[in-house]
Amino acid sequence: MNNEYTLIETLADEKWDRFVEDSLNGTIFSNSIYLKASSVKFKLFYCYKKEELRAAVSVVEDAKGESLILDDLVIYNGIMYNKPTNKQNHAQQFSEQFKIQEFIANELTKLYKNIELNLHPSIVDIRAILWVNYGTELPKYQPDIRYTSYIDISDFKTSKKLEDISIYNKASTSRRQQIRYAIKKEYKTKIISDVSLLIEFYKKTMDRQDIDVENEKLQKMEKLVSGLLGQNMAKIYASYDEKDELGSIALFGWDNKRAYYIFGANDPAKRDGHTGTNVLWEAFYDLSKMGIDEVDMEGINSPNRGWFKLSFGGNIVPYYEIKLGE
């Protein structure tokens, strides 16, 4: 029994948001505004070492509150470590994180029947989670490696020409060609506030792929986007072709660390154009001017969307999806 740490349920308030902002592992997806706007059944915990706050945990519960589940709108959650204390050296930081992780992983098994978490890519050591119930017949955590792509946009704001941009030179030949075509044909990307238009385009995109999207999910998306726009935590970018016809829309949100590509959608009738490329490329310019240096493309785990996102020249970054079930 570990009496060194305690796990205490907490509120989605300003103190929570400050912790998320300060933690290397904290993201917009654990921010109180995002969670409340997402309509998920979330629960938050602090992990204390005696009186000292050392970590936090953000989770999504099922309807009954008996299990932890993954949700399409919450890309990362789980454990977030506090900043190391001044007295800790490098090795001591790793040691403490191991102990915290072991304690939290065990505590969650006492609270929930089944557990699903998507840990942030910055959490690379999950040994303590995997060793829970080691040597027993009890359920054990199972990891699945997922992938996203990080794109460096820090040089967009200072570039004078395309070749000045690092990821342009790393992008695929076809992606560079699409970027040049959009510029030559004078495509325009605007920032819009019409949330319903984004949802309409998303539904069109899913319909083209024969994916049936429930109205409940569309309503949740609309509430989330409206909530983020209202708090100046996101922008909707819309790309128009040379005929001034709308072809693609993308939503980017951000925190104090990076921006996140949250949704994207295209008009199926405009798929042969260049708006799908242009909307992201122009968004990178705008986000860079805001002082954001990095974009998380939020998953490259499906073949078609994965290749498209990677064609922009970003780096591949792994993260862990963790599951425990009876």
pLDDT digits (tens, 9 = 90+) for 70-91: 999 999 999 999 987 767 888 8
Q: Are 173 and 181 in contact (CB under 8 A)?
A: no
pLDDT above 90 (res 176)? yes
Q: Which ranges in 112-239 belong to alpha helices (H)?
A: 127-130, 166-170, 173-184, 195-208, 215-230
Superfamily of segment(s) 149-318: Gcn5-related N-acetyltransferase (GNAT) (3.40.630.30)
Q: Are 287 and 259 in contact (CB under 8 A)?
A: yes
pLDDT above 70 (res 67)? yes
> Would you list the DSSP string of 45-79?
EEEEETTEEEEEEEEEB-TTSSSB--BTTB-S-EE
pLDDT of residue 326: 63
Considering only CA atoms, which of 291, 292, 290, 282 is closest in space to residue 312?
A: 282
Paired residues of 192 in beta bridges: 236
pLDDT above 90 (res 97)? yes
User: What is the average pLDDT score of the chain?
Assistant: 94
For the ranges 42-56, 82-96, 299-313, the lowest mean pLDDT is seen at 82-96
The amino acid sitting at 190 is K
Task: State the pTM of this model.
Answer: 0.94
141 alpha carbon, distance to own chain's centre: 22
323 alpha carbon, distance to own chain's centre: 19
Q: Are 83 and 23 in contact (CB under 8 A)?
A: yes
Per-residue confidence band for 305, with pLDDT thresholds at 50, 70 and 90:
confident
Which class for 279: exposed (0-12), middle (13-18), buried (19 or more C-beta within 10 A)? Answer: buried
pLDDT above 90 (res 125)? yes
* Cβ-based neighbours of 237, under 8 Å, separated by 6 or more: 189, 190, 191, 192, 249, 250, 251, 252, 279, 280, 282, 283, 286
pLDDT of residue 204: 83
pLDDT of residue 151: 98
pLDDT above 80 (res 173)? yes
Q: What does the angle CA 52 – CA 53 – CA 58 come to, to the nearest 5 degrees?
A: 160
Which class for 203: exposed (0-12), middle (13-18), buried (19 or more C-beta within 10 A)? Answer: middle
Q: Which regions of the chain carry the CATH code 3.40.630.30?
A: 149-318
- What would the mean pLDDT of 246-253 be, rounded to a whole number? 96
CATH assignment of 5-140, given 3.40.630, 1.10.1760, 3.30.70, 3.30.310? 3.40.630
Q: Give the three-state DSSP class for 222.
A: helix
pLDDT above 60 (res 272)? yes
pLDDT digits (tens, 9 = 90+) for 2-23: 578 999 999 999 999 999 999 9
Give the percent of the chain with pLDDT over 70: 99
How many whole angstroms separate alpha carbon 294 and alpha carbon 291? 9
pLDDT of residue 90: 84
Q: What tokens were used for 11? A: 């509120």
18 alpha carbon, distance to own chain's centre: 18
> Would you list the DSSP string of 258-289?
-EEEEEEEE-GGGTTSSHHHHHHHHHHHHHHH
pLDDT digits (tens, 9 = 90+) for 189-222: 999 999 999 999 898 888 777 778 888 889 999 9
44 backbone dihedrals φ, ψ, rounded to 5°: -125, 145
For the ranges 64-73, 146-155, 199-208, 291-300, the lowest mean pLDDT is seen at 199-208
Q: Residue 232: how many CB atoms within 10 A of its CB?
A: 8
Q: What does the angle CA 111 – CA 114 – CA 119 come to, to the nearest 5 degrees?
A: 90
